[in-house]
Amino acid sequence: MVGWATGLSLPTNPRYEWWANKRAFAHPTRPTHADLATLVAPVNTTYYCAKHGKICKPLFSMLSWWKRYSKDTLHRLAEFAKLRTDTYQICLNGNSETINLFSQLAKKHPALAKLAKRQKLRGIFSSPPYVGLIDYHEQHAYAYELFGLERQDEQEIGALFKKQTKKAQQEYVQGIAKVLVHCQRFLTKGFDIFLVANDKYNLYPPIAEQADLQIVHQYKRPVLNRTEKDKGAYSEIIFHLKEK
């Protein structure tokens, strides 16, 4: 990624050239500035921009944004290099309802897996999918291509195609609760779980109940500086859950 961003070398495989800097590619698809995250149709003429409150025009070239985001990527990497700690980070890809964290970890780092199995994990901090709001697989299609991961659309909790019906909400509650129940076997006594959610349907109290957990605190915060700009108020809650 660094080589691509600096322009020192570019891969010869067109697929990887395409996914090298996915942030830049949102702009040549010609969405309105208020619709960067949920493009419906490309815009070919000037338009009144709800985000900037003036007449804007679509971009027909990604070059300027490629340069801008490439420089920004390098800046972020440099800043992260100053802040990173001497810890080991790992990403395990799997179904959160069934994955055996310790056995999967053993395939990547046997010594760490042995330590984790003995001491167990201190807690979870996660932002689960929202119910019927985003097609997460499609939103991250570039990552599946780039890392050669198999898509599992049918296993997605809160999938967009199920919408936000009562049935979809019930399935969402069951799905998130099932994940929490499954994950508790890997956690130490007195664990802490923090979940970030836009819970407009008040689904997390029954989720906690089904997972045999209690919500000990809720941290509410508005969501600012979003990619797109719509007219609906938007806020999130960070739920702090513990054992009963």
* H/E element, 189: strand 187-197
Q: What is the pLDDT of residues 6-63, one digit of tens each?
A: 222 333 333 333 334 455 455 455 777 777 666 667 788 899 988 788 999 887 777 8
If you average pLDDT over residues 156-164, what whole number do you get?
93
- What's the pTM value of the predicted model, to 2 decimals? 0.75
Residue 226 lies inside a defined structural domain of this protein? yes
Query: Do 109 and 211 belong together in one domain?
Result: yes
Domain identity same for 26 and 108 = no
Task: Determine the average pLDDT of the residues in 113-139.
Answer: 92
Q: What is the pLDDT of residue 4?
A: 27
Q: Does residue 159 sit within a domain?
A: yes
Q: CB of 235 within 8 A of CB of 198?
A: yes
Are both 47 and 129 inside the same structural domain? Answer: no
How far apart are the C-alpha atoms of 1 and 23, rounded to whole Å? 13
CB of 62 closer than 8 Å to CB of 24: yes
Higher pLDDT, 62 or 180: 180
Range of the domain at 67: 2-81
Question: Of 18, 1, 6, 4, which is closest to residue 145 (Cα–Cα)?
Answer: 18
Asked whether residue 89 is domain-assigned, the answer is no
**How confident is the prediction for the chain on average, in pLDDT?**
83
Angle between the N-to-C axes of helices 110-119 and 101-108, in degrees from 0 to 180, rounded to the nearest 10: 150
Query: Is the pLDDT reported for residue 3 higher than 60?
Result: no
In the chain, % of residues over pLDDT 90? 51
Is 93 contained in some domain? Answer: no
**What pLDDT, on the 0 to 100 scale, is given for residue 9?**
30
pLDDT the model gives residue 103: 96
Average pLDDT of span 230-244? 83
Per-residue model confidence as pLDDT tens digits over 69-92: 889 989 999 999 999 988 888 889
Confidence category of residue 147, pLDDT binned at 50, 70, 90: confident
**Is the pLDDT reported for residue 227 higher than 80?**
no
d(CA 127, CA 194) in angstroms, rounded, equals 8
Same domain (yes/no): 121, 64: no
**Total domain count, the chain:** 2
Q: Of 26, 47, 81, which closes a domain? A: 81
**Is residue 72 located within the same domain as residue 146?**
no
Both 43 and 106 in a single domain?
A: no
Q: Are 128 and 32 in a shared domain?
A: no
For residues 74 and 225, the model is more confident at: 74
Looking at the fold, whether 122 and 42 belong to one and the same domain comes out as: no
Across 44-53, 97-106, 117-126, 182-191, least confident range = 44-53
